[in-house]
Amino acid sequence: MSPSIYLDHHATTPVDPRVLEAMLPYFTEEFGNASSRTHAYGLRAAAALEDARERIAAAIGAADPGEIVFTSGTTESDNLALQGVARAGRARRSHLVTTRIEHHAVLDPCRALEAEGFSVSYLSVDAQGTLDPADVAAALSERTALVSVAAANGEVGGVQPLTEIAALCRERGVLLHSDAAQAIGRIDFDVRAAGVDLCAFCAHKIYGPKGVGALYVRSGRPRVRIAPLLHGGGQERGLRSGTLPVPLIVGFARALEICRDELASESARLRELRERLWTQLQAVGGAHRNGPAAPRLPGNLNVSFEGIDAVAVLTELEGIALSTGSACASGRSEPSHVLAALGVPPALARGAIRFGIGRGNTPEEIDTAAQRIAEAVRAHRRQRRGGAQAGVGGAI
């Protein structure tokens, strides 16, 4: 049965029809390779590519379009930032700083760098998932090359104090990288105002196509040096070789512009839907909201229900698309590392459901979902109590 109510917008989003319309010509009539500069097809593709680069740069507040490096997605952008900066400066600086609640696209490259001899400090957060800038300052040393802190967390929705962290990094001559895949297009985010040196984001989280992302690399002084991960045709100033997917990049730019233009009204609408959902879920009893009340991503709600196994509940809940955490880690059997870092007890972590409310959701869908989830949670609790009682009776 296909899900009829989609509440997993932190995992991915549907392509907006306006985005698809912008992309279609570049799959058919305008199919040229942007690196082919000897004929009109390639020149038109190159022009569309650079126009999209300019629009994306403007949408995130970049000073220059050349600061945008296209990749296959946020995971590649994160890897290029962390491994690229670390390897380019290993002779002078071999230490990185990050947090325990980062996406695996940051944590796994950090572990790979540790295997190469780099050292990494993994900072704790408070019970709301917020990083204390003072902890960043204490972790910095003369050997620190890079700090990596996500702008917003895709599981519990918390928004980090990047501006304060950036100021500390600048004082010590340390670069700041941020995975902003969950922030850009969902909250007001400007790379220069935030003070980041590198910023990773992608299209499919903002109603654009899968398979395309970008890494913002600040220009100017001090220079951000990056060793490329891919070698080949020398595209993207040698930082990321490979034929550029012009249709996807055109869609990326259009998706980001739509999010920017509709940000204020859509954020208000999503916050209203989120609170409507939370109010109804509290009536179930034994419901705990994970993460901060504010600042928080407008469409995010993460709730732990006492006495349930969330995976079992969602497996039986037909017609509603939900998740228990990051889609990129959904194959892992252990409880969320994010909730563990927040100090959520394992039993409650196993009962956590993440709600990602998005552009297509309506109040009626929220009400239906709340009712169905309440019924499923209550039924699961009854089953578990019945099983426990049967076990006790059998033992006697």
Active site residues: 328
Type of residue numbered 233:
G
Spatial neighbors of 339 by CB under 8 A, at least 6 apart, are 155, 156, 290, 304, 325, 348, 349, 352
Token representation of residue 205:
């989280």
With beta carbons less than 8 A apart as the criterion, state whether 176 and 157 touch. no
Cis peptide bond prior to 222, omega within 30° of 0? yes
In contact, 25 and 371? CB cutoff 8 Å: no
Gap between the Cα atoms of 86 and 92, Å rounded: 10
Contacts of 133-138 with C-beta under 8 Å, sequence gap 24+, read 133/161, 133/164, 133/165, 133/168, 136/97, 136/165, 136/168, 136/169, 137/168
- From CA 250, how far away is CA 159, in angstroms rounded? 28
Residue carrying the six token digits 């695996």:
104
Alpha-carbon distances of 170 from 93, 94, 140, rounded to whole Å? 15, 18, 11
Q: Which residue carries 């002779």 as its tokens?
A: 91
How many CB atoms sit inside 10 A of residue 262's CB? 13
Report yes or no: 352 and 344 within 8 Å, Cβ to Cβ. Answer: yes
Task: Measure the CA angle with vertex 230, ends 229 and 236; round to 5°.
Answer: 100
d(CA 81, CA 285): 44
